[in-house]
Structure 1
């Protein structure tokens, strides 16, 4: 009985000793520093960098019975085989691996540590591997990026060539579409500017579609969508940036549609008067009666007050003539009307008139109105001829045309000399010269024709006028 109790107690004591040894061994293994702790203590690397290290095998197999020498040899061979380390050196002492040398990157340094800790019978790793310092002028990354870019460019080169071919084809189709549009709208749209605008719109649409297809073929789908989506934004931005140019362009379209004037018309806009030579997409070109050129923005012309002197063939002129108070007003009116009725440049419908306008200090002022055809006669020449003939006829009828009365003041008086012997007969007055017939057209007035052809002929070699297409007839 006592022997059994002793045996049982011995077994319990042995089990306790065995369990305690096993437990101490487990605690010793648990409390041993891990690879991450050793690496963090020796190199200062954080666990986040370790997570980014290269993947390694879970366990490196060696012979079941390992010695420090065999582990050292195996790890030395592995580090030398990779080519990532300069002068690698591995030393193993009682299961602790000491790694030395220089690694090209931090990831490869961490990879060596992780590989050593997973080797059989290695209980700890002391990582003394240093990372090679990069030189200040290191062009290796740039060269590597250029090589990678070259490889990518070579890969997409066929797609780019196809995209360029598609873009060129779309450009030719756009030009052909614009030409066909202008051709088919020739009989429906009279304005050359509107035909040009319609052709440009069709060409732009075809070209945008071609660019979209080219970008899709080259693999730039996002860029293609961006081009289509950004077309409106680009147009809006350009509209704000070139607002004045766009305004003039739209004004040229409206002018060509409304036809407020035509080439050769005499117009006046914002104080500028001249014959219309051309309307371009930028402005309206006028030639003044003095032979000068005026180029006005189309927006100013369209929004301004336009006086078209040649919109209707007939135009009215007027002038004033003063006669003496002792002369007959009716007789003077009859003389003036006879001159107007017989003049070749004055039309009878509407009929001319000669009315009393005002009473001056020394004259009775008559206002004379008459109409003439400005398409065939010059207003300056006809006015000169009419005034000249009226003056001549009034002079022949002994109707005076006195000047305005003037008052002379003599502050010291006027000396008077008494003449004792007066002449028996008054001196004879000069006889009036014999009346002569005034011609309707004088040398200075010429043939009374309109100056339009002369002004336009004098400026027909204008480079600005000849440089661009005219948008109106």
Structure 2
């Protein structure tokens, strides 16, 4: 019995001794960082590691029975095989690896340390590797980037060629589509400018679709989506930048649709008067009666007050004639009306009139109104001929046309000379010769024809209006 107790106590003592040693060993192992922890800290496997760190193998296999010499040889071969190190040297002393030499980058230096710590039977690593300092003028990265770019360009060159072919084909299809659209709308749309605009819209849509397909073929899908999405923004920006140009272009479309005037019409816009020569997408060209050229923006023409003198064939003119107070107004009106009725440039419907306008200080003023066909007669020439003939008719009838009365002031008085004997009879006045009957037209007035043909013929050699289509031809 006593022997059993003694044996039991001895066994219990041994177990307690072994348990204490194991506990101390476990505590020591918990306090000492493992190789994986060191590798993770060095290579950046944790959250705070470098994202560009080189990946390290989980374990480097060596023969089961390792020695310092075998570990040293294995690590030396690995570092030399990479080509990342200059004069690499590995020394292992009782499981501690000493690394020396020069590394080309810091990431490769960390990689060597992590690789050594993961090698079997290596308990610690002393990293003495130095990072090579790059020269001040180092073109190696640029050359490497150019080489990489060249390889990538060579790889995508077939796609670029196909995309270019698709873009060229879409351009020709756009032109054909625009031409066909103008041809189909020729009988439906009278305005040439509107047909051109519709054709251009169809052509642009076809070309944009072709460019989108070309970008998709070349692999630039994101750029294609950006192009389609940014078309509206680009159009809006261009609209603000070229607002005046867009306004003139839109005004030209409206002018070609509304037809407020045609080529050859005599119009007046914002004080500018002349014959319409041409209307382009930018402006309206006028030729004045003096032969000068006026170019006005279409927006100004469309928004301004337009006076079209040739919109209707008939036009009315007037002038004033004064007769003496002692003369018969009715007779003067009859003489004036006889001239207007017989004149070739004056029309009878509407009928001309001669009315009393006012009483002057020395005359009774008659206002004469008459109508004429301005498509065949000149307003200036007809007015000249009518006034000349009215004056001749009134003179022949003995109706005076006195000047306005004037008051004469003599500050030093009027000298008077006494005549001793008056003549028996006053001297006779010379007889007036009867004036010859004047013709309806004179040399100065010509044939009373309109100036439109003459002005347009005089300015037909103007080269500044050539080269662009006339929208109201």
Please, what TM-score do these two structures have when normalized by structure 1?
Answer: 0.94
The corresponding residue for 2:327 is 327
Which residue does 1:238 correspond to in 2? 238
User: What's 2:96 paired with?
Assistant: 96
Give 1:412 shift. Answer: 2.8
Quick check: 2:35–2:118 contact (8 Å CA) kept in 1? no
Aligned-partner Cα distance in 1 for 2:156–2:307: 64
TM-score of the pair, normalised by structure 2? 0.94
Greater alpha carbon shift after TM alignment, 435-444 vs 22-31: 22-31
Q: Which residue of 2 aligns with 1:299?
A: 299
CA distance in 2, matches of 1:425, 1:364: 35
Task: Give me the whole-angstrom Cα distance separating, in 2, the residues matched to 1:234 and 1:251.
Answer: 22
Is 1:56 the counterpart of 2:61? The answer is no
Residue 421 of structure 1 and its aligned partner are, at CA, apart by 2.9
Moved more, 95-104 or 325-334: 95-104
Any conservation in 2 of the 1:36–1:47 contact (CA below 8 Å)?
no
Superposition deviation, residue 195 in structure 1 = 1.5
Change (3 A) 1:51 1:119: farther
Whole-angstrom distance in 1 between the partners of 2:364 and 2:121: 139
Q: Does the 8 A contact of 2:43 with 2:55 survive in 1? A: no
Where in structure 1 are there 5+ consecutive unaligned residues?
Answer: none
Q: Which runs of 5+ in 2 are unaligned?
A: none
2: CA distance between counterparts of 1:52 and 1:347? 100
Aligned residues: 473
Mapped to 1, the partners of 2:300 and 2:129 lie a distance apart of: 81
Check if 1:346 corresponds to 2:320: no
Question: CA 1:407–1:301 in 2, change beyond 3 Å: closer, same or farther?
Answer: same
Compared CA separation, residues 256 and 15, structure 1 to 2 (3 A): same
Q: Deviations over 1:346-402 (max 9, x none)?
A: 111111111100000010000001111111110000000110111111111111111
Alignment match, 1:260:
260
Per-residue CA distance 1:18-51 (angstroms, 9 max, x = gap):
4434444444444345568879999999983467
Question: What is aligned with 1:210?
Answer: 210
The C-alpha deviation readout for 1:242-264, integer Å capped at 9, x for no partner, is: 11111111111111111111111
Asked if 1:222 corresponds to 2:222, the answer is yes
The alignment yields a C-alpha RMSD, in angstroms, of 2.4
Q: Give the corresponding residue for 1:276.
A: 276
Provide the C-alpha distance between the structure 2 equivalents of 1:43 and 1:114, rounded to a whole number of angstroms: 6
2:187 pairs with 1:187: yes
CA distance in 2, matches of 1:136, 1:469: 64
Whole-Å Cα distance in 1 between the matches of residues 51 and 36 of structure 2?
Answer: 10
Pairs within 5 Å for 1:144-183: 144-183=144-183
Structure-2 change in CA distance of 1:51 and 1:145 (3 Å): closer
Offset of residue 52 of structure 1: 5.3
Q: 1:44 to 1:318 in 2, by over 3 A?
A: closer
With over 3 angstroms needed to count, the CA separation of the structure-2 counterparts of 1:150 and 1:41, relative to structure 1, is: closer
- 1:463 aligns to 2:469 (yes or no): no
Q: Do the aligned partners of 1:42 and 1:126 also contact (CA within 8 Å) in 2?
A: no
2:358 alignment counterpart: 358
- Aligned match of 1:429: 429
